[in-house]
Amino acid sequence: MEPNTAIRCRAVGALDRHGKKAARGLGSIEIYASLCCSALLVSQALPRIDAIRDRQAVQVVAGELDQQLRMARQTAIALDTPVRLTLRALTGGGGHCTLTHTGDPQACRCADPTTGAPAACDAPARLLQASSTRLAEAGATVTTVNRTLIFAPDHGTVTPTATFEIRSRQGLRVRKIINILGRVRGCAVTPLPGWSTCA
């Protein structure tokens, strides 16, 4: 027999050492072991995926609030009239709504999902922009609500100054802080990559 004949037979998998035809495929033990390994890997990956989604959710909601604050300031300057930004809590499931408007904040209301009524303001107040964020859908919400800021038209200053906290479903917390000049900065209460820690 040539030296490499046995090697060729084993490579093809035709015969085992007893001269019997070798079985193909995996046995039940190998399949069970593979399933256990797969389940273990999945169980380790799921918390990491949830953490990534949590970070993304709180950053998206914080980014939206940042844009709304800046837009209210710019609108006040552009229209040469005081503009208000009002945040209110949503009922049923948690969340918040943001109203950018002129006039009395009590004259404006959020959209009502139960009746289908849209956000609106009673004259002479005027609604400029409205949005609603539900915790169940967005994964995060602004917890500092029932606040109204007034942006002055001359220099875009804001009264009063405010700190808004955004919290995710898993407890990740960041803040958006607006000073008297209408400048907005952010910080993280819980550790978050790319964010400075709140003092």
Tokens 């409205």 locate to 130
Between residues 3 and 34, the one the model is more confident about: 34
Between residues 119 and 12, the one the model is more confident about: 119
Between residues 102 and 193, the one the model is more confident about: 102
Instruction: Answer yes or no: is 99 within a domain.
Output: yes
| Residue among 77, 102, 99 at smallest CA distance from 90 | 99
Instruction: Answer yes or no: is 51 within a domain.
Output: yes
Q: Output the pLDDT for position 12.
A: 41
Instruction: Answer yes or no: is 196 within a domain.
Output: no
84 pLDDT higher than 70:
yes
Instruction: Answer yes or no: is 193 within a domain.
Output: no
Instruction: Answer yes or no: is 25 within a domain.
Output: no
Instruction: Answer yes or no: is 6 within a domain.
Output: no
Average confidence (pLDDT) over 42-51: 65
Q: Output the pLDDT for position 30.
A: 72
Cα dihedral sign for 88, 90, 91, 93? negative
Average confidence (pLDDT) over 134-158: 93
CATH of the domain at 149: 3.55.40.10
- Average pLDDT of the chain is 84
Rounded to whole angstroms, the Cα distance separating 57 from 69 reads 19
159 pLDDT higher than 90:
yes
| Neighbouring-strand partners of residue 127 | 101
Instruction: Answer yes or no: is 184 within a domain.
Output: yes
Between residues 80 and 42, the one the model is more confident about: 80
The model's pTM is 0.74
Q: How many domains does the chain have?
A: 1
Q: Output the pLDDT for position 114.
A: 82
Q: Which of 13-17, 44-48, 72-76, 190-194 has the least mean pLDDT? A: 13-17
Could you tell me if 148 and 141 are in contact, meaning their C-beta atoms sit under 8 angstroms apart? no
Task: Kindly report, residue by residue over 162-173, the tens digit of the pLDDT.
Answer: 999 999 988 999
User: Which residue segment(s) compose the domain that 124 sits in?
Assistant: 38-188
- 179 contact partners, CB below 8 Å, separation of at least 6: 158, 161, 185
Q: Output the pLDDT for position 136.
A: 86
Q: Output the pLDDT for position 113.
A: 81
